[in-house]
């Protein structure tokens, strides 16, 4: 089999399997071989179950030969972020407390992927309890960016994005509470979608010992892939109510409203004095807007009437409560605050959401940065709050890396990250395409149109992979 097939889109691979041009077993063997040859320096895939996967792939091939009805992901070998419970396969959340944890049941999201025909063969690396923008932990060590091994792949779904970029899996599913799908997509040059909050069940999310039985605030599960078409396909499989509500509830996401860029009115929010961007990254974003305008999109320098810092303060307070279960009890109580305070914050969030919804009445989409910079060098000293970074020689807080993603996440809006170019050093960079609540397919369709219209946009295989 040609090695490059491993970097095809999931949609292309699924079609090839249906047409019997490629077998599921051969594709699985190809991914296992690529991981064995190429993943050592990257360290993206940390646990594998080749034997059970081979049996499942063989069964998928037999079903194909018989002409049995098959799902949209039939025979596609995949890996899953290690924060998501996967039946019979070690799932640790990156924490030593769960180093030997082997779930009995799949998270609903994993069950839906399997039900659509996917073959799970491995787990990908992440930071402890999904709590960083880098992907390293005491169990599995450090994951490196396949575009530059000295740099981070992002976090917390860093192993997932690196595996997709390097052609180690058909696609991935990650989690995102502060940017954990979008930031790795931006850093690794793949596409990632943060769904509208509540659209995909989060059960089975390992953010603490005993976690996974409820849906944390702000957090979502979302796909990482090599095309917008893949994201749409995967969202169609993942979206739906929690299992206990499925007896009565259904999800019917509206189709995208625009077929071309000429039908879109797009707001742009790239410049915020309190969160400066790397000059080179800002230049790429500027070029993207120019090319979209030339392609016929109506670009307006406008954004929702919200104060950037106030909305980030709201995000900071709410995410502190959401992630508090992963901290020691004394720290957790201080982080979470009282329920009375949380109710006040939630009411303020409702007011902010209303402002965004009103703005979207006259705009189809918003474009904004993902982080202030491209992928940065590994920085494991200190912690999330104490670390610093340089942006064009200016000392800034490491925490600013989640400013633009937190801005969108706290109001629960869908956001698709699409690669839009590379820096002079060859590092990929992306842009967030934000749509109104539950208009996920608008964001995904626009990301696909951007990939087609902008020179150098869309997924490209890292050199050497």
The beta strands (E) that lie in 33-134 are given as: 45-48, 77-81, 119-124
Residue from 130, 170, 180, 324 carrying the catalytic annotation: 180
**Is 156 a catalytic site residue?**
yes
Asked whether the beta carbons of 453 and 299 are under 8 A apart, the reply is: no
Tokens of 263: 């039908």
Rounded Cα distance between 194 and 256, Å, is 16
Residue 254 buriedness (CB in 10 A; 0-12 / 13-18 / 19+)? exposed
* One-character DSSP codes across 292-352: HHHTT-EEES---S--HHHHHHHHHHHHHHHHGGGS-HHHHHHHH--HHHHHHHHHHHHHH
Residue from 24, 91, 135, 156 carrying the catalytic annotation: 156
Which spans in 140-212 are helix H?
158-166, 182-188
CA angle 156, 154, 90 (to 5 degrees): 40
Asked whether the beta carbons of 203 and 254 are under 8 A apart, the reply is: no
Asked whether the beta carbons of 75 and 50 are under 8 A apart, the reply is: no
**Is 208 a catalytic site residue?**
no
Rounded Cα distance between 171 and 163, Å, is 8
17, 18, 19, 20 alpha-carbon torsion, rounded to 10° = 50
Bond into 202 cis (ω within 30) = no
Asked whether the beta carbons of 204 and 106 are under 8 A apart, the reply is: yes
Sign (positive or negative) of CA dihedral 207, 211, 217, 219: positive
Give the strand order in the sheet containing 428-434. Answer: 172-176, 220-225, 191-194, 415-422, 428-434, 365-368, 265-268, 298-300
Cα atoms in the 13 Å half-sphere on the side-chain side of 39: 27
Sign (positive or negative) of CA dihedral 350, 353, 359, 361: negative
Rounded Cα distance between 172 and 27, Å, is 16
Residue from 23, 24, 81, 135 carrying the catalytic annotation: 81
Nearest Cα residue to 21 out of 83, 79, 64, 57 = 64
* β partners of residue 120: 78
Tokens of 131: 């709590």
**Is 227 a catalytic site residue?**
no
DSSP state, residue 391:
E
Residue positions annotated with a catalytic role: 81, 156, 180
């Amino acid at each position: 089999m040609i090695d490059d097939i491993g970097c095809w889109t999931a949609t292309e691979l699924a079609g090839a399997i249906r047409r019997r041009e490629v077998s599921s077993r051969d594709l699985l063997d190809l991914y296992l071989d690529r991981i064995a040859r190429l993943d050592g320096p990257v360290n993206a895939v940390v646990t594998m179950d080749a034997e059970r996967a081979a049996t499942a792939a063989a069964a998928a091939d037999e079903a194909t030969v018989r002409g049995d009805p098959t799902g949209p992901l039939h025979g596609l070998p995949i890996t899953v972020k290690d924060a998501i419970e996967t039946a019979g396969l070690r799932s640790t959340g990156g924490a030593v407390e769960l180093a030997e944890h082997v779930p009995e049941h799949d998270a609903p999201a994993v069950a839906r992927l399997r039900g659509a025909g996917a073959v799970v063969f491995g787990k990908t690396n992440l930071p402890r309890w999904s709590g960083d923008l880098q992907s390293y932990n005491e169990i599995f060590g450090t994951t490196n960016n396949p575009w530059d091994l000295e740099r981070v792949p992002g976090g917390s779904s860093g192993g997932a994005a690196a595996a997709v970029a390097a052609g180690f899996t058909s696609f991935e599913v990650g989690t995102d509470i502060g940017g954990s799908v979008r930031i790795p997509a931006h850093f690794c040059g793949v596409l990632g979608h943060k769904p509208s909050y509540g659209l995909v069940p989060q059960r089975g999310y390992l953010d603490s010992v005993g976690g996974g039985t409820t849906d944390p605030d702000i957090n979502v599960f979302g796909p990482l892939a090599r095309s917008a078409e893949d994201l749409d396909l995967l969202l169609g499989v993942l979206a739906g109510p929690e299992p206990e509500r499925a007896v009565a509830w259904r999800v019917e996401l509206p189709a995208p409203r625009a077929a071309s860029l000429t039908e879109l009115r797009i707001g742009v929010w790239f410049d915020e004095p309190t969160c400066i961007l790397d000059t080179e990254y800002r230049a790429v974003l500027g070029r993207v807007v120019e090319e979209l305008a030339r392609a016929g999109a109506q670009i307006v320098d406008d954004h929702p009437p919200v104060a950037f810092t106030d909305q980030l303060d709201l995000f900071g307070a709410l995410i502190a409560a959401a992630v508090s279960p992963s901290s020691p009890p004394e720290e957790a109580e201080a982080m979470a605050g009282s329920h009375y305070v949380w109710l006040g914050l939630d009411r303020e969030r409702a007011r902010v959401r209303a402002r965004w919804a009103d703005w979207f009445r006259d705009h189809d989409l918003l474009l904004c940065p993902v982080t202030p910079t491209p992928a940065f060098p590994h920085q494991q000293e200190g912690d999330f709050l104490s670390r610093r970074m340089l942006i064009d020689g200016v000392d800034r807080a490491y925490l600013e890396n989640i400013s633009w993603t937190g801005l969108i996440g706290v109001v629960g809006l869908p956001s698709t990250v699409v690669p839009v170019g590379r820096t002079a050093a060859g590092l990929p960079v992306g842009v967030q395409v934000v749509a109104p609540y539950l208009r996920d397919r608008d964001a995904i369709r626009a990301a696909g149109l951007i990939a087609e219209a902008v020179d150098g946009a869309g997924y490209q295989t890292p050199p050497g992979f």
